[in-house]
Structure 1
Amino acid sequence: MKFDLHISSSLTCKLQKKSAILFNTTLMIWKQHTRASTAQQIQNSRPVTMSHSSRRWSVNILTEAMFPGIGLEPVASGRPPRPALGAELVASLPLQMCLYFNILYLPCWSAVLAVVFHAKLDRMDFLNRYIYVTVVVGALLMEAARLYVGYMGSLREDVPDLAGFWLITLLLACPLHGLLLLNRGALQLAPELAVLWPQAVFVTAELVLGYAAARRLAQHQVSKFHAASAARQQQKSE
């Protein structure tokens, strides 16, 4: 009888210990769950903000998509690495932007000139009509070829194309646009003047920027030639 009471008392103690352990574990789990839910509610109540790393990653992705080859990754030395002489980009960004917007503006300019040409052709005398027809047709053909040569020469960093673009701008574009803009005998209309002035601004900007870009590109090509000659001589001496 005493043995049975001892066994029952020992079992009761074990059950009480297990119950206490189970209760404590349950209490700890409930507290952790309560803390996590409270933190989640506080986080949801705050405005959603991106961390610095997330913002930088998003900017990197957008930059690589819009401008391939350009990265914003930090450099160990704190300064961007200087590219080699043969891999350095010397194309003029202002000239490229000016040519790009001029190409977009060209259809509007051509359409207005064609409409105005048809509207006032019968009102001009023979001399002004002959001059106006020659200038308009020459300007339309010249602008398409000039912008193509300048755009491709600037993209490919080709000195002959860029020099040809600058010469066409100086010797053909400036006189033709000057005649279109300053010839008062051509019965100039308001829509015609509205498209001729922006085109004259484009031509003037491309004349200045094209000269600077061609000069810089020519100097870069000369530096590359001298660097390559020095490297070949060094290899022969070794």
Structure 2
Amino acid sequence: MDLSLTLRKGLEDFSRNVLFDQSRTQPFPNENDTFLPHDKRVLSSLHLQMSLYFNMWFFPVWWISETVMLHLKYPVLPDYYKFILVTVLILMTLIEAIRLFLGYAGNLQEKVPELAGFWLLSILLQFPLILFLLFNEAILIQPLERGVHIVLATFILTQALSGFVALRNVVRHTESQFHLRQFSEALTSRPHLETSLHFPDNM
């Protein structure tokens, strides 16, 4: 449980300080904090959600195509490429499952840590792996493979761009709400401060 909270806090700090260079701002409020009731804006990205939806249905097609093609060309591949391709297929399957889950949760629930994790997995892991499968001619790329790799690479790149925009909007909105809440609390506490002051009658 502590590891999960530490990971979420690290992703929040990364989003605020590294991605958007806003180290001077206050930390994000907790999920249980209540914001001002009049702000009901929807920050979820429609483009990101549509891309995630179609990606979720396309990925099984990609996985079946890649598995069948790998089985057909496996006997003629060098031993080290056999190991590399099997490892890449397993890694991409696991990463894609986690990535899509984080994308759905982060976008629909407008959560910064999940969106940040989704964006990092897309840029740092999944996109380089699909480029390796797409452009490395030594692995004997078949026409079907090239086609499904292009489609998946397009999904990942589109989601990385729209995910960055969605993450930036959620970060800015969360911080603005946090500052507004602080300002509102300061205004409500001011009358108590004024009544606590006592001035002599002769002044």
- Shorter-chain TM band: 0.7 to 0.9
1:115 aligns with 2:64: no
User: Matched residues in 2 for 1:213 and 1:85: separation?
Assistant: 21
CA contact (8 A) 1:135 1:179 kept: no
User: Matched residues in 1 for 2:37 and 2:164: separation?
Assistant: 25
User: Matched residues in 2 for 1:109 and 1:86: separation?
Assistant: 41
Task: Report the equivalent of 1:52.
Answer: none
Task: Report the equivalent of 1:101.
Answer: 54
Q: Determine helix, strand or coil for the equivalent of 2:171.
A: helix
User: Matched residues in 1 for 2:38 and 2:73: separation?
Assistant: 56
CA contact (8 A) 1:149 1:161 kept: yes
1:86 deviates by 3.8
User: Matched residues in 2 for 1:221 and 1:94: separation?
Assistant: 21
User: Matched residues in 2 for 1:112 and 1:143: separation?
Assistant: 16
1:88 deviates by 1.4
Task: Report the equivalent of 2:111.
Answer: 158
Task: Report the equivalent of 2:98.
Answer: 145
Name stretches of at least 5 consecutive residues in structure 2 with no aligned partner.
1-35, 192-203
1:129 deviates by 1.4
Q: Determine helix, strand or coil for the equivalent of 1:87.
A: coil
What per-residue deviation string (whole Å, max 9, x for no partner) do you get for residues 82-116 of structure 1?
x9654211111111111111111111111111111
Aligned pairs (5 A) from 1:36-75: none
Change in CA separation of 1:85 and 1:99 when aligned onto 2, cut-off 3 Å: farther
Task: Report the equivalent of 1:181.
Answer: 134
What per-residue deviation string (whole Å, max 9, x for no partner) do you get for residues 56-80 of structure 1?
xxxxxxxxxxxxxxxxxxxxxxxxx
Q: Give the structure-2-normalised TM-score.
A: 0.74
Aligned counterpart for 2:156 among listed residues 184, 203, 206: 203
User: Matched residues in 2 for 1:104 and 1:219: separation?
Assistant: 32
User: Matched residues in 1 for 2:128 and 2:107: separation?
Assistant: 23
1:136 aligns with 2:89: yes
1:191 aligns with 2:144: yes
Q: Which has the higher Rg, Structure 1 or Structure 2?
A: 1
Structure with bigger helix share is: 1
1:193 deviates by 1.1
1:195 deviates by 0.8
User: Matched residues in 2 for 1:85 and 1:104: separation?
Assistant: 37
Q: Read off the aligned partner of 2:75 and give its amino acid letter.
A: D
Aligned counterpart for 2:121 among listed residues 146, 152, 168: 168
Q: Percent identity?
A: 35
RMSD: 1.4
